[in-house]
Structure 1
Amino acid sequence: MTGFDLIILTFYLVCVVTVIARAIASLFVHQIMIRFDRPFLEKQLETQQLKGAIEIDVKLEKRYNLDEFKFLELKISNKSDRELYIDWDASAAIDLEGRSHRIVRIIPGMTLDLLSPQVNSVIPAKRTLVQPIASESSLRRNSESSPLAIARTFVDFSKLKPDRKDDKKKNRSQPKLEIFYFYLSLAFRFAASEVSTIAPRPIPLSCQFVVEPLPWTETLPWRQEKEKRK
């Protein structure tokens, strides 16, 4: 084998190894599981004597890539005999770092304007509201004249991304998986009662969401396909 042949062979092997390495890396997509902590909310409802009057549910997927979780879809049921109001401008999202973000309700076909106050939502007695919401910090405008669009995740998950500097020091097959939390603080009030002159009291309710990074073995394509078939 000549020196030139050796150079060609070396170049070929480098290309093959690079392609294989990229193919393997593409399998390891960093994913998270987000869970709505119902007992956390139920305890507040019980403390405020609202159990059976207000129900809150959240539509969540089984897993998300770090850049997929763009908005929350709330399902709020008013089980009482009075109208229930939701004050969106008094509500907020609390991210993984404890920072507060204004939330914006999403209405189909609406041009989002963050300068104007949001109108309170009204849920009639025995009715349910399904409302998607985004955080103000996730909204971006492509140009000065274009409407706002959701461009980032509901809360910032950048701290969940692996630290490339530490990758060489850590064993990838045995990562330390931490649990994180973010919150949705909602402001409610019931309509005034016809038989009472007392002004309705504000009802603050906090929804806790548990964020669990999935181990890389759970993110492999064949594991996800197996989960879908269940």
Structure 2
Amino acid sequence: MRSIDPIILVIYLIVITWALSKIVSSFNDEYTVSLDEEILKQQLADQNLQDIVGVGFDFEKRYEFGKDDKLKQFGVKVTNKSQTHSIYIDWDYCATTDLQGRSRRVTRLIPGTTLDLFQNQVFSTVAPGATLKEIITAEDVLKRKEPKDKDAAVALEMEVSKPLLDFEALKKSKDDPPKKKYARFISRIDPLEFSLDLALRLIGSTYSAEGDRIQLRCKFILKKLPWQAGLPWNPR
């Protein structure tokens, strides 16, 4: 064995290790979002609403965090289980939080909407025995769609311009708690979370004429997936 052979072997192992770490890192950026159903069930039970109101959400099976984060909006479903009551959803009284707990106004997304964000949002009605499905996001991720023709008038239609959750802000925070939360999330020690406060009004024989408003806090849990989940042959 030549005297240089051990050096070549060490360099080779270092390069292989570096390449493998890059491969793992490229797949190590996926997470899931799920509703904490027990907390929601308890709130409905505490207000005797379990036989009147049903709430569900539509999320993708998994998301990627970073520049290509696809979680920009999500679906909400409100079911009126009653045959004698109507349910109103007061969107302007709904709020969602970010990863650091900052409250944000909720916006219901309507295709082609040109509404001014400063305007009040029209409430939605869920008739007895019916289910309402809507897409929502936070107000601060919206912007006016750029017109395709530079000489055209300013576009009125709104579009979602960035992810709903800012992982980079959490990672680069100057405060220790957010940094530690992010590090523990990346290490799959603790999940992250955000929430939606859903404002409903119930109208019926046992409620006032204008409806009694109730507030449901829906808590969402973000769990980072192991890097193997990102391999191409794993189902998405």
Q: TM-score range by the shorter chain?
A: 0.7 to 0.9
Q: Which residue of 2 aligns with 1:215?
A: 226
Unaligned ranges ≥5, structure 2? 1-11, 147-152, 174-185
Deviation at 1:175, TM superposition (A): 3.3
Q: Which residue of 2 aligns with 1:3?
A: none
Q: Please tell me whether the aligned partners of residues 56 and 77 of structure 1 are also in contact (alpha carbons under 8 angstroms).
A: yes
Deviation at 1:205, TM superposition (A): 0.5
Unaligned ranges ≥5, structure 1? 1-12, 164-173
1:226 to 218, 229, 234: 234
Comparing 103-112 with 201-210, greater Cα deviation is found at: 103-112
2:132 to 129, 134, 143: 129
Q: Does 1:145 align with 2:154?
A: yes
Q: Which residue of 2 aligns with 1:189?
A: 201
Deviation at 1:27, TM superposition (A): 3.4
Q: Please tell me whether the aligned partners of residues 92 and 102 of structure 1 are also in contact (alpha carbons under 8 angstroms).
A: yes
Deviation at 1:62, TM superposition (A): 1.7
Q: Which residue of 1 aligns with 2:41?
A: 42
Q: Size of the alignment, in residue pairs? A: 199
Deviation at 1:28, TM superposition (A): 2.4
2:190 to 170, 178, 183: 178
1:113 to 91, 113, 116: 116
Comparing 94-103 with 41-50, greater Cα deviation is found at: 94-103
Cα distance between partner residues in 1 of 2:187 and 2:108: 37
After the TM superposition, which segments of 4 or more aligned residues of structure 1 sit over 4 Å from their partners?
20-23, 159-163, 195-199
Cα distance between partner residues in 2 of 1:155 and 1:36: 16
Q: Which residue of 2 aligns with 1:103?
A: 106
TM-score normalised by structure 2 residue count: 0.74
Q: Please tell me whether the aligned partners of residues 72 and 154 of structure 1 are also in contact (alpha carbons under 8 angstroms).
A: no
Deviation at 1:216, TM superposition (A): 2.0
What secondary structure sits across from 1:226 in the alignment?
coil
CA deviation map 1:137-176 (0-9, x unaligned) = 111235582222101122323256699xxxxxxxxxx935
Q: 1:112 to 1:178 in 2, by over 3 A?
A: farther
Cα distance between partner residues in 2 of 1:56 and 1:155: 22
Q: Which residue of 1 aligns with 2:52?
A: 53
Q: Please tell me whether the aligned partners of residues 72 and 133 of structure 1 are also in contact (alpha carbons under 8 angstroms).
A: yes
What secondary structure sits across from 2:91 in the alignment?
strand
- Give the % identical residues: 33
Q: 1:52 to 1:217 in 2, by over 3 A?
A: same
Q: Does 1:62 align with 2:65?
A: no
Deviation at 1:25, TM superposition (A): 6.5
TM-score normalised by structure 1 residue count: 0.75
Cα distance between partner residues in 1 of 2:208 and 2:74: 36
Cα distance between partner residues in 1 of 2:120 and 2:191: 35
Deviation at 1:21, TM superposition (A): 7.7
Deviation at 1:105, TM superposition (A): 0.4
Comparing 126-135 with 104-113, greater Cα deviation is found at: 104-113
Q: Which residue of 1 aligns with 2:81?
A: 79
